[in-house]
């Protein structure tokens, strides 16, 4: 079946239809053009479509709006993926209410995709876990999906960009930076991953957009990992949506407290426990994928010893002293020089990890 972007856009622009009814129309009539031209009587045979809504379908003014929207969007260099197009994400097409249209800046890589989600106000532990999980997953060729919100989402995107690629699913147009302080992150993601939205260009973020956005995050992914969040967190809704669509649900345990309540609830309900990227890969059956190995930098002997000792661990200064056979002052100096070179960073709890 050939893609018909104008017809899909016209259905999407028709007030009252929505993703679920559009999916039903496509199933009933075979394609968007036939649905658009079906006529009021035939349309009313479809579940959820009454006389008033049926009259709106086929409106020539909406068709003209769809033509203009398609032209305007493509002129801005944004790709339009309609649900009837081969380029539309196959996994997303199968969910209960798939978005009929997606707007894309960048390049989608969904061969192996995992969502990392969580609270907008994480602890230092939560930030570290989200970033490190994303970094190591991306190193194994996994695309990290999240929503570019403050907190866990942002850390997941940042970690993934250190070693691979990421997709940010937005609750606004792909040319709108939200939150505003993430504008540079958004541009980096567009260049090295993808910005994706079901909302047309310049659509501003509204509260109702974000729960709808969550179903896309879950639908694109083979599994969802929750890193901190309360029992009323939107991230927990994303995990529930993933479970309802047959995706794997995973959670990172944390200290007893409000921010760990969401992950702990999922774990009690049978979610897979995640302490490392290897746990995620194993849960999804992807543990056969080797990590991409970056060549080790050429360093003076003391710095090289400390850098190699850190590896994928996050040791303290005392642990590095024991492993490297150096004095504490030598280790501290080496860490300072490595940090200046952008190779290591200090983590919560006076521990150190590679960048």
Examine the fold and report which residue of 75, 103, 127 is the final residue of a domain before the chain moves on: 75
Please tell me the predicted confidence (pLDDT) of residue 157. 97
Helices (H), ranges, the chain = 5-13, 18-29, 32-36, 40-43, 51-56, 60-75, 90-93, 124-139, 152-163, 183-192, 209-220, 234-244, 261-268, 277-283, 301-310, 317-324, 328-340
pLDDT average, residue stretch 28-43? 95
pLDDT tens string 68-112: 999 999 999 999 999 999 999 999 999 999 999 999 999 999 999
244 and 328 housed in the same domain: no
Residue 98: inside a domain: no
Helices (H), ranges, 95-166 = 124-139, 152-163
199 and 345 housed in the same domain: no
φ and ψ at residue 266, rounded to 5 degrees: -60, -40
Residue 269: inside a domain: yes
pLDDT-derived band of residue 64, with 50, 70 and 90 as boundaries? very high
- Closest to 82 measured CA to CA, from 7, 146, 27: 7
Q: 34-38, 174-178, 193-197, 351-355: which range is least confident on average?
A: 351-355
Cβ–Cβ < 8 Å for 223, 191: no
- Closest to 325 measured CA to CA, from 351, 300, 302, 308: 302
C-alpha to C-alpha distance for 116 and 224, rounded to whole angstroms: 6
Q: Cα separations (Å) of 13 from 21, 50, 202, 297, 348?
A: 13, 17, 15, 53, 48
Residue 236: inside a domain: yes
Q: Is the pLDDT of residue 119 over 90?
A: yes
pTM: 0.81
Residue 157 is part of a domain; what is its CATH number? 3.40.50.450
174 and 143 housed in the same domain: yes
Residue 101: inside a domain: no
Task: Describe the chain by its helix, strand, coil percentages, rounded to 5.
Answer: 50, 15, 40
Examine the fold and report which residue of 29, 56, 75 is the final residue of a domain before the chain moves on: 75
Paired with 123 in beta bridges are: none
C-alpha to C-alpha distance for 145 and 193, rounded to whole angstroms: 10
Residue 288: inside a domain: no
Cβ–Cβ < 8 Å for 17, 50: no
274 and 309 housed in the same domain: no
166 and 276 housed in the same domain: yes
Q: Is the pLDDT of residue 293 over 70?
A: no
pLDDT-derived band of residue 312, with 50, 70 and 90 as boundaries? low
pLDDT tens string 210-240: 999 999 999 999 999 999 999 888 899 999 9
Please tell me the predicted confidence (pLDDT) of residue 97. 95
274 and 308 housed in the same domain: no
pLDDT-derived band of residue 355, with 50, 70 and 90 as boundaries? confident
Please tell me the predicted confidence (pLDDT) of residue 292. 58
Domain of 65, in residue numbers: 5-75
141 and 190 housed in the same domain: yes
Q: Is the pLDDT of residue 295 over 80?
A: no
Residue 176: inside a domain: yes
190 and 122 housed in the same domain: yes
3-state SS, residue 54? helix
Mean pLDDT (the chain, rounded): 92
pLDDT average, residue stretch 9-35? 96
Residue 49 is part of a domain; what is its CATH number? 1.10.150.20
Residue 340 is part of a domain; what is its CATH number? 1.10.10.10
308 and 250 housed in the same domain: no
Q: Cα separations (Å) of 175 from 22, 49, 65, 193?
A: 25, 33, 20, 15
Q: Which two tokens stand for residue 177?
A: 């930076």
Residue 91: inside a domain: no
Residue 89: inside a domain: no
**Residue % of the chain over a pLDDT of 90:** 79
21 and 142 housed in the same domain: no
User: What secondary structure letter does DSSP report for 348?
Assistant: T
Q: Cα separations (Å) of 267 from 40, 105, 127, 139, 188?
A: 49, 35, 20, 26, 34
Angle between helices 301-310 and 328-340 (to 10 degrees): 80
pLDDT tens string 230-280: 988 889 999 999 999 999 999 999 999 999 999 999 999 999 999 999 999
117 and 41 housed in the same domain: no
3-state SS, residue 122? coil
pLDDT-derived band of residue 151, with 50, 70 and 90 as boundaries? very high
126 and 259 housed in the same domain: yes
C-alpha to C-alpha distance for 202 and 200, rounded to whole angstroms: 6
3-state SS, residue 80? strand
Q: Domain count for the chain, please give it.
A: 3
C-alpha to C-alpha distance for 160 and 176, rounded to whole angstroms: 22
């Amino acid at each position: 079946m050939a893609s018909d972007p104008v017809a899909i856009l016209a259905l999407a622009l028709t007030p009252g239809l929505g993703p679920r009814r559009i999916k039903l129309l496509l199933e009933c009539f075979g394609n968007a053009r036939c649905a658009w031209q079906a006529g009021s009587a035939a349309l009313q045979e479809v579940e959820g479509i009454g006389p008033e809504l049926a009259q709106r379908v086929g409106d020539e003014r909406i068709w003209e709006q769809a033509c203009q929207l398609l032209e305007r969007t493509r002129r801005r260099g944004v790709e339009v993926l309609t649900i009837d197009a081969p380029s539309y994400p196959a996994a997303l097409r199968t969910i209960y209410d798939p978005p009929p249209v997606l707007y894309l800046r960048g390049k989608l890589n969904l061969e192996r995709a995992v969502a990392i989600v969580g609270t907008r106000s994480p602890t230092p532990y939560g930030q570290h876990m989200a970033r490190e999980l994303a970094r190591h997953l991306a190193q194994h060729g996994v695309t990290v999906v999240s929503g570019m919100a403050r907190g866990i989402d942002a850390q997941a995107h940042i970690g993934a960009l250190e070693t691979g690629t990421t997709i940010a699913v937005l609750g606004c147009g792909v040319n709108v930076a939200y939150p505003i302080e993430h504008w540079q992150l958004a541009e980096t993601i567009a260049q090295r991953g993808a910005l994706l939205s079901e909302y047309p260009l310049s659509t501003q973020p509204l509260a109702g957009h974000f729960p709808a956005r969550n179903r896309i995050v879950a639908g694109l992914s083979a599994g969802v990992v929750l890193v901190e969040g309360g029992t009323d967190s939107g991230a927990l809704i994303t995990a529930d949506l993933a479970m309802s669509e047959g995706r794997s649900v995973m959670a990172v345990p944390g200290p007893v407290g409000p921010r760990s309540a969401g992950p702990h609830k999922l774990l009690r309900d049978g979610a897979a426990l995640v302490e490392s990227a290897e746990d995620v890969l194993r849960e999804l059956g992807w543990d056969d994928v080797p990590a991409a190995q970056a060549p080790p930098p050429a360093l003076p002997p003391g710095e090289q010893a400390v850098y190699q000792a850190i590896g994928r661990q996050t040791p303290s200064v005392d642990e590095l002293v024991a492993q490297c056979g150096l004095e504490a002052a030598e280790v501290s100096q080496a860490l300072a020089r490595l940090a200046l070179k952008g190779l290591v960073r200090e983590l919560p709890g006076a521990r150190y990890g590679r960048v």
